[in-house]
């Protein structure tokens, strides 16, 4: 049986490109998105690779949605072997006292609670089958206070600790857990987030950022090779050590 991956936030950007990269590896795919129509064409495209692909409605901030999404994945595709927690938002952007509290909380819910919900649901299945791979999309913003990004930085910092906690709790198993920092990537979320000139990152040119297909191929490599040396750690795509592991030359980026 072909392995199956769940990708949250799979409609565009890194999520969609990761789906394409995993499909090339023969992985069946559950595309967890709020609006399944938003990635119907992507699912059709992926199926042409000879794999099964489903677009499943799921708002990761709702636990019942996540529970039902994982249940549907297993009923339709037979199993879950890989979880890529890609769903994320940057908003609200602004000084802490100027941000909307509800929007700030939703940022934490999408970036952190959503990942907890999906991990909570797949871990029992991973333990039962004896293996599994979890990749949490991280960022350097998790470790650097950036003016105006309090919700995003705080949520991603929490996600980094969730990665470490999950790895600690599965340390006696063949379950792999990684935090993956894709570096600066030209996605719709990034372009929208950088419209507000609030910190040093917003002064950068998004046209110079990586295409999402580049880090997506690295995510697929992590899923395929499952290196124990990166277990529970934050892997940064552009770091020379990781580039060497991939077989790339960092100077060519």
Q: Is 12 left (phi over 0), alpha (psi -120 to 50) or beta?
A: beta
Can you read off the two tokens belonging to residue 88? Answer: 């994320």
Taking Cα atoms as reference points, which of 184, 63, 74 lies closest to residue 132?
A: 74
Taking Cα atoms as reference points, which of 241, 218, 239 lies closest to residue 229?
A: 241
Sheet holding 131-137, edge to edge: 53-57, 28-33, 4-8, 82-85, 131-137, 174-181, 234-236
- Pick the catalytic residue from 116, 117, 152, 237: 152
178 is catalytic: no
Can you read off the two tokens belonging to residue 201? Answer: 């990152």
Distances (CA, A) of 74 to 54, 59, 66, 70, 78: 11, 18, 13, 6, 5
Task: Scan for tokens 């470490």, then name that residue.
Answer: 164
CA 164, CA 138: separation in Å to the nearest integer?
12
Instruction: Enumerate the active-site residues.
Output: 152
């Amino acid at each position: 049986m072909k392995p199956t991956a769940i990708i949250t936030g799979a409609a565009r950007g890194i999520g969609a490109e990761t789906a394409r990269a995993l499909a090339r590896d023969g992985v069946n795919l559950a595309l967890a998105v709020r609006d399944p129509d938003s990635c119907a064409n992507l699912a059709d495209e992926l199926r042409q690779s000879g794999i099964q692909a489903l677009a499943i409605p799921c708002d990761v901030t709702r636990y019942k949605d996540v529970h039902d999404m994982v249940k549907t994945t297993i009923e339709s595709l037979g199993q879950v072997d890989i979880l890529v927690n890609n769903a994320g938002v940057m908003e609200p952007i602004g000084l802490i006292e100027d941000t909307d509290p509800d929007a700030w909380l939703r940022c934490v819910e999408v970036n952190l609670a959503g990942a907890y919900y999906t991990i909570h649901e797949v871990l029992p299945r991973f333990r039962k089958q004896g293996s599994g791979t979890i990749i949490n999309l991280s960022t350097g913003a998790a470790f650097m206070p950036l003016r105006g990004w309090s919700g995003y930085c705080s949520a991603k910092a929490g996600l980094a600790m969730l990665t470490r906690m999950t790895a600690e709790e599965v340390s006696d198993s063949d379950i792999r857990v990684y935090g993956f920092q894709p570096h600066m990537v030209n996605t719709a979320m990034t372009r929208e987030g950088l419209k507000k000139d609030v910190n040093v990152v917003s002064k950068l040119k998004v046209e110079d950022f990586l295409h999402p297909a580049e880090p997506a191929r690295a995510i697929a490599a992590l899923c395929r090779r499952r290196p124990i040396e990166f277990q529970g750690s934050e892997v940064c795509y552009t770091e020379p050590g990781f580039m060497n592991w991939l077989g790339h030359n960092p100077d060519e980026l």
